[in-house]
Amino acid sequence: MITKKIALTIIMWLSFAGILFSGYMSYKEIFGNICNLYVCSTIANMPVCVYGFIMFVTLFIVSIVGLRAKR
């Protein structure tokens, strides 16, 4: 049986991996002007990977807050 702590730990590490991946892709697209797979997808003039980076950072923070919660 998976407990709350184990689930949050798994989510934390997966979101950390997502932060590394989307952060790398965001850096390449914003500062390196390199589009991956020859397709530059944008939403509101921002690369899509930036939104992924924001999502993964949010998940990471929420999982850490959940792990530190007493209840």
Each of the 71 residues of the chain gets a pLDDT tens digit; together they read 888 999 999 999 999 999 999 998 888 887 877 766 556 777 787 788 889 999 999 999 999 999 998 77
Question: Residue 35 contacts by C-beta under 8 Å, 6 or more apart in sequence?
Answer: 29
Domain residue spans of the chain? 4-60
33 φ, ψ to 5°?
50, 40
